[in-house]
């Protein structure tokens, strides 16, 4: 199954080059509008900075919108290297702003390219990754003697239990990647001799599921 990898949460890191501070703030963004809102928020937070260089990649595969801006740095020395690192990561739906506080020492063209690229690589390295997948949320009422075996089945088929209610029976709400659900349903029927079946209550096209560290 192919994964669409995205940042699991917003992260920030800082490096120094030639006495300048380069602060990279990265976040998930699922539309150009969302990316631009994030960029304006970071520019507002660091309004006193020398430069706030943005780059984003929205979408995956062939359906990608990419953008960058040098924000006053020499042409091609800031936004492009930042964007190149994003594109080389294999992730999509992400936006970064690299904030620079000038430290008094000019870095030159090559130094700027290296610094902006390094700042983005640094923040990517500390950002947890998630996959964007279509999921089913399902509901299942089971007798108590099935409960532990059903929990094991959910885990074995990459599902996640969202809620458990204990009454006359146990009612389980769980979430599965759409591609994993048919195999879970088959295993459930085999376990119960055809008596148990999960009911799909909602389907989400873009669910973020964290990947193991």
Distances from the Cα of 22 to the Cα of 41, 43, 111, 117, 159, angstroms:
17, 14, 12, 10, 40
* pTM, full prediction: 0.76
Q: Which domains does the chain have, with CATH numbers?
A: 4-127 (3.30.230.30), 131-210 (3.30.70.240)
Q: pLDDT tens across 108-124, in order?
A: 999 999 999 999 999 99
What is the rounded average pLDDT of the residues 53-62?
91
Q: pLDDT tens across 58-72, in order?
A: 998 778 999 999 999
């Amino acid at each position: 199954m192919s994964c669409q990898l995205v940042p699991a949460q917003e992260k920030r890191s800082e490096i120094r080059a030639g006495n300048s501070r380069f602060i990279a703030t990265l976040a998930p963004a699922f539309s150009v509008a969302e990316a631009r809102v994030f960029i304006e928020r970071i520019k507002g937070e660091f309004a006193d900075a020398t430069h706030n260089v943005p780059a984003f990649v929205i979408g995956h595969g062939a359906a990608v919108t990419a953008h960058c801006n040098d924000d006053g740095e020499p042409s091609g020395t800031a936004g492009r290297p930042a964007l190149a690192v994003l594109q080389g990561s294999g992730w999509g739906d992400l936006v970064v702003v690299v904030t620079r506080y000038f430290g008094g020492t000019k870095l030159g063209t090559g130094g700027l390219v290296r610094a902006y690229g390094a700042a983005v690589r640094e923040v990517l390295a500390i950002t947890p990754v998630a996959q964007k997948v279509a999921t089913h949320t399902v509901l299942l009422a089971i007798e108590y003697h099935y409960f532990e075996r059903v929990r094991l089945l959910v885990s074995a088929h990459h599902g996640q239990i969202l809620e458990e209610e204990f009454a006359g029976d146990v009612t389980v709400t769980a979430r599965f990647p759409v591609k994993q659900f048919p195999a879970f349903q088959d295993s459930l029927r085999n376990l119960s001799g055809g008596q148990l079946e999960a009911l799909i209550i909602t389907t989400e096209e873009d669910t973020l599921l964290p990947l193991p560290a």
